[in-house]
Amino acid sequence: MANSIDDLKRQAAEKAVEFVKSGMVVGLGTGSTAVHAVNAVGQMLQDGRLHDIVAIPTSESTARNAQKWGIPLTTFDDHPVIDVTIDGADEVTPDLDVMKGLGGALLREKIVAIVSKQLIIVADDSKHVTRLATKAPIPIEVIPFARQPVITFLELLGGRPVWRQKDGQPYITDEKNIIIDCFFDGGLADPAAMAQVLINRPGIVEHGLFLGLTAMAIFAGRDGVEIVTR
């Protein structure tokens, strides 16, 4: 029987967890692929293959899952540098530039990524793209007060912004902000330029373009697991 997409996500995540060693500070990502990594770390702690690790989660949901497994959590006050972070992605280019944030945790994910010695991205092979924003919109975290000005600004950039909703209500992040998903037909010709334009706009807290941060990507596909390094 062919592997399901969830099976492929699990395979990629479990391969990534092989890079976690005892004594490390570990960043725990958010989303349907990263949850498998959290589960694998928890299982390795319980059966003794790992010990003396502490973790920093990228969302409240990840924190709850980690606590369920008995993974010790810490903060940046005690551990300002992370040894390795394992997280998922919505799109990955051949250069390992990444789009993230459809799971709603992009701000905390980027804070964790930027202080990680090694960021490992795990995904099924459907996440390959040649240009970011081809398959997925750019998730943009925005303070609620700035919603309409930011939407107008994104339209002027040629985007199609959509205010994210959940169960008929505005989606609210862990930091009490909203998310605007912005579609760009044909993707981004210059992601670095777009990233700079977005972060300079008042009201935008963060965006889902993770450029130059990924050390390794692990993809699982029908033909097995592929590891790509920068």
Percent of the chain with pLDDT over 90: 92
Residue 1 has pLDDT above 50, yes or no: no
pLDDT at site 116: 98
The domain spans of the chain are 5-127+211-223, 138-206
Mean pLDDT value across residues 14-30: 96
Residue 14 is among the residues annotated as catalytic for this protein: no
pLDDT tens digits, 77-114: 999 999 999 999 999 999 999 999 999 999 999 999 99
pLDDT at site 222: 86
Residue 121 has pLDDT above 60, yes or no: yes
Yes or no: is domain 5-127+211-223 CATH 2.60.40.10? no
Q: Which CATH class is domain 138-206?
A: alpha beta
Catalytic position from the list 14, 91, 109, 141: 109
Write the Ramachandran bin of 90: left for phi over 0, alpha for psi from -120 to 50, otherwise beta: alpha
Mean pLDDT value across residues 55-67: 97
- Residue 171, SS3? coil
Residues 57, 66 contacting (CB under 8 angstroms): yes
Mean pLDDT value across residues 140-167: 98
Residue 2 has pLDDT above 90, yes or no: no
Mean pLDDT value across residues 164-170: 95
What's the whole-number average pLDDT of the chain? Answer: 96
* Torsion 132-101-107-207 (CA) sign: positive
- Residue 20, SS3? coil
CA–CA distances in Å: residue 114 to residues 4, 53, 155: 32, 20, 29
Percent of the chain with pLDDT over 70: 99
Mean pLDDT value across residues 58-87: 97
Locate all alpha helices (DSSP H) within 54-143, ordered by sequence.
60-69, 106-114
